[in-house]
């Protein structure tokens, strides 16, 4: 498919890419399930040790990190290498997308890519980031002492939901304020603006906001990758594959938004490399930490995940989806809806088998 992209029409090629992505996600899911069943006994031992058995050293050595008998450089090599792989594979996939710029001939299929990316953003926010944040916050209070379990859940469940939802709303509001401030500043600096120029600037602001949200999201992915390789190679590889699959819609969506903003294909791909620094810095920070697993849990239970989810929701619903409502024919609308569902479906499989 990749080698023949120049001989395939853009509409057929993008459809094949979406179909291939869905099949690839299903295959990844089966790999996750097989790895989970093969190592269920090891995870049980790890859970027993983490629940308060510090003297179980005999079993702990067998289930402890692969890197416990290796030098620290092995851990860094594998973790950073996995992070680089996650960043480079989706990046090189963009080379084979036959769209070079935001020309009228490319507009219909650019909107299909935007739809696929918005589906990935919404799926990641509602099926991955928010669910990960909510259980993490509630879990942190599960060990508090209470005379009544029912009373405990009644007093703590509602604030947890409000906390996560509040940070999601904070993310949406913050991105709205940033876009408004930038547009006001740009409006004051110019003396004459047509509707087309304002529209392009709006999309440009959305592109940078999306990169900021993606950078923060990649930072948490880096934390998870570093912590997973400390736990073991199998956990690290499965985490790497999970992050790799859910990065594909993000990269495609970022690319489409940047192209829609007026960037050339080469410049859009170069700008996207900035988000890879988020994953690398998160992985390095996790490996430097004394307890990377606790650090990854803390990131999930803090404001980072729900705030980032709010940013993704804002980008998808305010900046991307309205673009899909303009000048749409029946066939074009069908392709865009199918692309949105494909992006959501990819995130569903990632969340299902994660």
Question: Cα 60 from chain centroid?
Answer: 33
State the pLDDT at residue 354: 66
pLDDT grade for 243, boundaries at 50, 70 and 90: confident
Among residues of the chain, what percentage have pLDDT more than 70? Answer: 64
Handedness of CA 73, 299, 182, 248 (dihedral sign): positive
pLDDT digits 0-9 by tens, 299-313: 555 778 888 899 999
pLDDT digits 0-9 by tens, 82-108: 999 998 888 888 888 888 888 888 888
Residue 169 has pLDDT above 60, yes or no: yes
Residue 77 has pLDDT above 70, yes or no: yes
Residue 34 has phi, psi (to 5 degrees) of -65, -45
pLDDT digits 0-9 by tens, 180-191: 888 888 774 444
Dihedral angle of Cα 165, 168, 173, 174, to the nearest 10 degrees: 140
Domains in the chain: boundaries: 5-40+73-137+160-353
Residue 125 has pLDDT above 80, yes or no: yes
Rounded Cα–Cα distance for residues 106 and 326 (Å): 15
Residue 272 has pLDDT above 90, yes or no: no
Q: How far is CA 100 from CA 11, 51, 106, 225, 276, in A?
A: 14, 54, 8, 33, 22
Contact 286, 225 (CB under 8 A): yes
pLDDT grade for 10, boundaries at 50, 70 and 90: low
Contact 29, 245 (CB under 8 A): no
């Amino acid at each position: 498919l990749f080698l023949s992209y120049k001989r395939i029409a853009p509409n057929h090629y993008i459809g094949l890419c979406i179909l291939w992505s869905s099949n690839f996600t299903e295959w990844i899911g089966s790999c996750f399930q097989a790895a989970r069943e093969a190592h269920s006994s090891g995870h049980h031992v790890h859970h027993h040790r983490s629940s308060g058995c510090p003297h179980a050293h005999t079993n702990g050595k067998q289930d402890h990190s692969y890197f416990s008998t290796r030098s620290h450089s092995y851990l860094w090599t594998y973790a950073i290498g996995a992070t680089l792989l996650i960043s480079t594979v989706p990046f090189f996939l963009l080379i084979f997308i036959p769209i070079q710029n935001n020309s009228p001939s490319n507009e219909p299929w650019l909107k299909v890519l935007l739809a696929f990316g918005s589906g990935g953003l919404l799926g990641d926010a509602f099926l991955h980031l928010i669910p990960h944040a909510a259980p993490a916050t509630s879990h942190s209070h599960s060990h508090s002492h209470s005379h009544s379990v029912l009373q405990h859940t009644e007093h703590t469940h509602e604030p947890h939901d409000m906390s996560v939802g509040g940070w999601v709303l904070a993310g949406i509001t913050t991105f709205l304020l940033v876009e408004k401030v930038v547009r006001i500043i740009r409006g004051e600096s110019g003396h004459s603006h047509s509707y087309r120029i304002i529209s392009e600037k709006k999309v440009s602001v959305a592109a940078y906001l999306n990169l900021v949200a993606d950078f923060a999201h990649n930072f948490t992915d880096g934390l998870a990758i570093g912590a997973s390789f400390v736990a073991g190679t199998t956990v690290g590889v499965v985490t790497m594959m999970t992050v790799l699959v859910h990065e594909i819609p993000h990269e495609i969506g970022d690319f489409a938004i940047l192209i829609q903003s007026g960037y050339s294909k080469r410049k859009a791909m170069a700008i996207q490399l900035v988000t890879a620094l988020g994953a690398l810095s998160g992985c390095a920070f996790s490996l430097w930490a004394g307890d990377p697993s606790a650090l990854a849990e803390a990131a999930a239970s803090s404001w980072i995940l729900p705030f980032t989810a709010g940013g993704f929701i804002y980008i998808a619903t305010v900046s991307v989806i309205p673009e899909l409502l303009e000048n749409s024919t029946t066939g074009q609308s069908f392709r865009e809806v199918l692309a949105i569902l494909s992006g959501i479906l990819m995130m569903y499989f990632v969340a299902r088998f994660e």
